[in-house]
Structure 1
Amino acid sequence: MDLNTNEIYSDLRKTKEELLQRLNQENCSPIVRPYIEAELKDIETALKKIETGTFGTCEVSGELIPMELLQIIPTLKSMEDCKTVNYVISNH
């Protein structure tokens, strides 16, 4: 694991723990719960990709996803996701 990926892995694990704590709180809103669960699923997927060495590869085309985008949103799965992020970034 390179330094960037190691940092992303650490951040994802921390975020996972924080989301699990929120999810397990008695006052967790039923409206927010599905969003937390979806984010946890995406984080688990990203963690597994890092562990198996496939992190940063588009699930559709196999292209490499730019590391600068993965550092911002490490749960990106495809180049299409990157286009959406680039659109949002360039329009703000």
Structure 2
Amino acid sequence: MDANINDLYSELRNTRQELLERLMNGTSNPIIKPILLEELHDVERTIAKLEQGNYGMCELSGELLPTELLKEIPTLQSKDDYTSLGKFYRKALF
């Protein structure tokens, strides 16, 4: 793994640990718990991709995902995920 991938791998492992601790301590709001579980699943899936050497590939088409986008959303799984981000994006109010 190159330095950037090593940094990402380390950060994802730390994130996984934080999510596990939050879920295990039993104080998570029941409304938030499913979101934490989904995030944990995404992080674990991304860690597995890094370990298998196929990180950054679209799970549907096999094409490479945009590097700049992966820097912002390292758990991105497909180009479909990328195109659906627009519905969550809100422009800043001035």
Q: Which has the higher contact order (CA 8 A, sep 6+)?
A: 1
Q: Corresponding residue for 2:83?
A: 83
Q: Corresponding residue for 1:68?
A: 68
* Length-normalised TM-score, structure 2: 0.85
Q: Corresponding residue for 2:17?
A: 17
Report the Cα distance in structure 2 between the residues aligned to 1:82 and 1:34, rounded to whole angstroms. Answer: 22
When structure 1 is superposed on structure 2, of 40-49 and 66-75 the one drifting more is 66-75
CA contact (8 A) 1:56 1:64 kept: yes
Q: Could you give the per-residue CA deviations for residues 30-61 of structure 1, whole angstroms, max 9, x where no partner exists?
A: 11111111110111100000000011000001
Higher helix share: 1
* Length-normalised TM-score, structure 1: 0.86
Report the Cα distance in structure 1 between the residues aligned to 2:2 and 2:76, rounded to whole angstroms. Answer: 18
Deviation at 1:4, TM superposition (A): 1.9
- The residue type equivalent to 1:51 in the other structure is E
Q: For 1:40-55, what aligned pairs fall within 5 Å after superposition?
A: 40-55=40-55
Output the aligned Cα RMSD.
Answer: 1.8
Which protein shows a greater Rg? 2
2:58 is aligned with 1:58: yes
- Structure 1: stretches of 5+ with no match in the other structure: none
Q: Corresponding residue for 1:34?
A: 34
Deviation at 1:83, TM superposition (A): 2.4
- Structure 2: stretches of 5+ with no match in the other structure: none
Shift of the 3–84 alpha-carbon distance from structure 1 to 2, 3 Å rule, reads farther
Matched residues, number: 91
Shift of the 77–6 alpha-carbon distance from structure 1 to 2, 3 Å rule, reads same
